[in-house]
Amino acid sequence: MINIEYSNKKIRVESKKVSPLFELPLKLSIRSHVNKKELWSTQLNDNWWAEYPDNEMNDVVVTDNNGDVIVERNWDVMMDGSEIYKFLYLYCKKLNKSGIKPKGIAIGTHDGLFGEWVPCVLNNITDAILVEASTPQFDNLVNNLQELPNVKCINSLVSVDGKPIEFFEGGKGYTNSVVERVIRGWETETINSNMRNSVSINELVDNVNWLHLDVEGYDAKLIMSLDLSKLPKLIIFEYENLEDNENEEVKNYLMDKGYHLDYKKVSCIAFKK
């Protein structure tokens, strides 16, 4: 009677003949899986359908005219997550089953509403340090995840050496990078830059099981600047914004260190047993 489909990066909801049971119209809401805030809504009548263009970590709620929930479909990491979502989640679950609660670091977290590390944090199967350089995005990150006991949020720019570095930021801080060519290629709004203090990645990464990087073209440099003793068994990094020579360099570097690399659409899983 009401069908909900998560596929092709979309959410599609179809209502059949529902008027014999409910007074129409019904309300379809798309809500964030993390903070449960409504992102979008529309009406449903008999034999209608609606689509939302993003199914990543979003939930579906259909209610009647009284606001009572008729059907609810929550995003599920194993049903709806990408291969990278599932890999990190199962890796953390496996460590928990062996009696070890893993610890990881996510650098470039944005507001915490999405990212392969998020389900692991929400389900408390890992401890995590969450690092975001943009102040607006960091404030949202804290608001979204501050009640979780297993996270520590750090508002800092991360660099290879801990020295001041130029930081480029556009719009409301959603797009930011220390690599100017990347942000110029993505951002259509005004881009501001300033010199910012930074923390060295080697100061942050110590005795962790996983490292998640989403730093818009700076991923390779951070990985290759890590002390060998600090390289975790699992590294997830975004290669989409790397230049070809940078991608080849980090690929060869990690393979030389014994990592198996699994390239997905925009990111790569680097895992070493």
Q: What is the pLDDT of residues 194-244, one digit of tens each?
A: 999 999 999 999 999 999 999 999 999 999 999 999 999 999 999 999 999
pTM: 0.95
pLDDT at site 171? 74
pLDDT at site 175? 83
Phi, psi at 102, each rounded to 5°: -70, 165
pLDDT at site 146? 87
CATH code: domain 79-271 is 3.40.50.150
According to CATH, the topology of domain 2-75 is Immunoglobulin-like (2.60.40)
Q: Please state the domain extents for the chain.
A: 2-75, 79-271
Phi, psi at 69, each rounded to 5°: -75, 125
Nearest to 117 by CA among 151, 163, 85: 85
Q: Are 121 and 109 in contact (CB under 8 A)?
A: no
**Mean pLDDT score, 41-46:** 97
Cβ count near 64 (within 10 Å):
16
DSSP letters spanning 17-70: S-TTTSPSPEEEEEEETTT--EEEEEEE-TT-EEEES--TTEEEEEE-TTS-EE
Q: How far apart are CA 147 and CA 34, in angstroms?
A: 12
| pLDDT at residue 1 greater than cutoff 90 | no
